[in-house]
A and B are shown apart, each in its own frame.
Chain A
Amino acid sequence: MATELALSVEGIDALYGESHVLHAVSLSLRPGTVLALLGRNGAGKTTCMSTIIGFLRPRAGTIRVFGEKISGLLPEAIARRGVGLVPQGRRVFPTLTVEENLKVAARPAPGGWTLEKVYALFSRLQERRAQHAGSLSGGEQQMLAIARALMGNPRVLLLDEPSEGLAPIIVAEVARTIARLKAEGQSIVLVEQNVKLALKLADDAVILNTGRIAFAGEAEALRRDETLITQQLGVH
């Protein structure tokens, strides 16, 4: 059963110091689909991402990528097993050039992403290839963060608030990029504050509320349930 899932998170508990931030959280990402992970600030969305990539070790529960257990491994080992992270706040390597940011993350795969393909997807990055990443605009840094994750040819892509702090026109571009990646068969977990954007792209959705699952189901069901959205996510 579990082997059919691109990513399965089974009942994980995570703690920051003494405070319990995730309680028995489970997620299922089907191959080639987008799973939206929603919730208010502090609901545990980023903690969930940090646990999947291995920044944080879960106290309980198991995480698998295409059936292979990754929980308990170091982040670099988890990355090599096919998890790519586009972190909150982008976190490009500021003193490296754009091209170096991409090259250090490269893990070639047959028919997979290469420097040329990534530049074809984001032509702005090619124009700025020799520039230090720290000098890029927020939108360009976001594209670089996505491109950097793609260079590792991930089987599962984790996008943590890719629209945060960006101008609407750039948000639209990010959304188009995500839609395109999905169309190419990329499995994606999308963490978003922008519920409208997330539900437009997602097949399934999960809402976290103070570290617990408050909703898990099809995105379509959530789109139709205004009450639940208002109740769980506040405005919109």
Chain B
Amino acid sequence: MQFWAIQTLNSLALGGLLFLLSAGFSLIFGLMRIANLTHGALFMVGAYLGATLLRWVPNLWIVALLSGLIVAAFGFLLEKFILEKLKGNVFSQVLVTLGFAYIIADFCLVTWGGDPIPIPTPPSLQQPLRVAGLAFPAFRLAVVGIAVLAAIVLYLFIERTRIGAMIRAGVDDMEMARAVGIPVRRLFSIVFCLGAGLAGAGGVIGGPIMSAYPGLDADMLPLALIVVILGGVGSLVGAFVGSFITAFVYTFGVALFPQLAYVILFLPMIFVIAFRPRGLFGKFAA
């Protein structure tokens, strides 16, 4: 019983982290039509920055915010000074994001070394929560709470504001969005910044669960890709639902059939791509 309860909570916590990672990934993909392959690296550099910042600021949530802002600023520069120069050339843009994924990974290796750096759980959340004779790690519950909160705020931004409507218009029909005068360049900046910031903050919040280690980027990026294939490109609701489905499949796959974890994860993708190439909520095929 404890096994199932814990694995369920682990799935929910991973789902929350995946949402923080993939919400931006999906919006960037939907609007700019590029798979931002630095997204895993942004998550990782966020975690490393968090580990360092925690020495000066002993509060994980504030550090997550700071780390998110720093990574968002980096994302802004990357979009403004590199991706924009390659506008209209999606293939080059994707290659550049892949190149930056390697550069960031090497930068992290040089700066923080090859050993994993643990990120401590906030003291107030170290005691497990006991419900009906089962013990739940309180921190993971908090992660789920933060992800749901982030989802609500993002949803309101995308669905209830004029800028959000402009972003959706761009996802619907980029050319026509430009023709009605929507400043798409600015939207690209906003979405890229937002996505990078969420990934960076997500790395810190995931820190106590995963810690910061070389290869964290490569572990997270495929999961974000799966979320987006499953949920649909450019859809926030899709990213939310896709994150939790992916997290459950991955967590239980690893726990029950460790040798087959990736098979269990990727096999359903074949069926999604074959029978529903737009994903559950997407407008066009990834």
User: Number of residues in A with C-beta < 8 Å to the partner?
Assistant: 26
Residues 167-196 of chain B: 1 if any A CB is under 8 Å from the residue's CB, otherwise 0? Answer: 011011101111111111100000000000
A79 and B168 in contact, given A91-B173, A93-B173 (Cβ under 8 angstroms): no
Asked whether, in the complex, the Cβ of B180 is within 8 Å of the Cβ of A152, the reply is yes
Asked whether, in the complex, the Cβ of B162 is within 8 Å of the Cβ of A104, the reply is yes
- Say which one of A32-40, A94-102, A190-198 lies at the interface with B: A94-102
A103 and B165 in contact, given A76-B184, A91-B173, A94-B172 (Cβ under 8 angstroms): yes
A75 and B162 in contact, given A95-B172, A96-B169 (Cβ under 8 angstroms): no
Query: Does residue A199 face the partner (Cβ distance < 8 Å to B)?
Result: no
Nearest B residue to A53, CB-CB: B179
A76 and B172 in contact, given A95-B283, A103-B162, A103-B165 (Cβ under 8 angstroms): no
> Which of chain A's residues have a CB closer than 8 A to the CB of B261?
none
Complexed CA–CA distance, A85 and B178 (Å) = 11
Query: Does residue A129 face the partner (Cβ distance < 8 Å to B)?
Result: no
> Which of chain A's residues have a CB closer than 8 A to the CB of B175?
55, 75
Complexed CA–CA distance, A149 and B180 (Å) = 7
Query: Does residue A200 face the partner (Cβ distance < 8 Å to B)?
Result: no
Nearest A residue to B186, CB-CB: A76
Interface range on chain B: under 10, 10 to 19, 20 to 34, or 35 or more?
20 to 34
Nearest B residue to A133, CB-CB: B172
Query: Does residue B166 face the partner (Cβ distance < 8 Å to A)?
Result: yes
Query: Does residue A80 face the partner (Cβ distance < 8 Å to B)?
Result: yes
Asked whether, in the complex, the Cβ of A93 is within 8 Å of the Cβ of B169, the reply is yes
Asked whether, in the complex, the Cβ of A104 is within 8 Å of the Cβ of B169, the reply is yes
- Closest CB-CB distance, B228 to chain A, in whole Å? 17
Asked whether, in the complex, the Cβ of A87 is within 8 Å of the Cβ of B181, the reply is no
Asked whether, in the complex, the Cβ of B165 is within 8 Å of the Cβ of A104, the reply is yes
Asked whether, in the complex, the Cβ of A79 is within 8 Å of the Cβ of B181, the reply is yes
> Which of chain B's residues have a CB closer than 8 A to the CB of A100?
165, 168-169
Nearest B residue to A103, CB-CB: B162
- Closest CB-CB distance, B219 to chain A, in whole Å? 33
Tally of A-B Cβ pairs under 8 angstroms: 65
Chain B residues touching A, majority SS: helix
- Closest CB-CB distance, A71 to chain B, in whole Å? 15
Most buried by B among A53, A75, A87, A152: A75
Nearest A residue to B159, CB-CB: A100
Query: Does residue A148 face the partner (Cβ distance < 8 Å to B)?
Result: yes
Asked whether, in the complex, the Cβ of B172 is within 8 Å of the Cβ of A104, the reply is no
> Which of chain B's residues have a CB closer than 8 A to the CB of A96?
165, 168-169, 172
> Which of chain A's residues have a CB closer than 8 A to the CB of B183?
76
Asked whether, in the complex, the Cβ of B176 is within 8 Å of the Cβ of A76, the reply is no
Asked whether, in the complex, the Cβ of A152 is within 8 Å of the Cβ of B173, the reply is no
Complexed CA–CA distance, A57 and B162 (Å) = 30
Query: Does residue A121 face the partner (Cβ distance < 8 Å to B)?
Result: no
> Which of chain A's residues have a CB closer than 8 A to the CB of B173?
91, 93
> Which of chain B's residues have a CB closer than 8 A to the CB of A94?
172
Complexed CA–CA distance, A53 and B166 (Å) = 19
Query: Does residue A221 face the partner (Cβ distance < 8 Å to B)?
Result: no
Nearest B residue to A97, CB-CB: B165
> What are 21 contact pairs spanning A and B, CB under 8 A?
A74-B178, A75-B175, A76-B181, A76-B182, A79-B178, A84-B180, A85-B179, A87-B176, A91-B173, A91-B176, A93-B168, A93-B173, A95-B283, A100-B168, A100-B169, A104-B162, A104-B177, A104-B180, A107-B181, A148-B180, A151-B180
20 additional contacts (CB under 8 A) given A93-B168, A148-B180: A55-B179, A76-B178, A76-B179, A76-B183, A79-B178, A85-B180, A87-B179, A93-B173, A93-B177, A94-B172, A95-B172, A96-B169, A100-B165, A100-B168, A100-B169, A101-B169, A104-B165, A104-B169, A107-B181, A149-B180
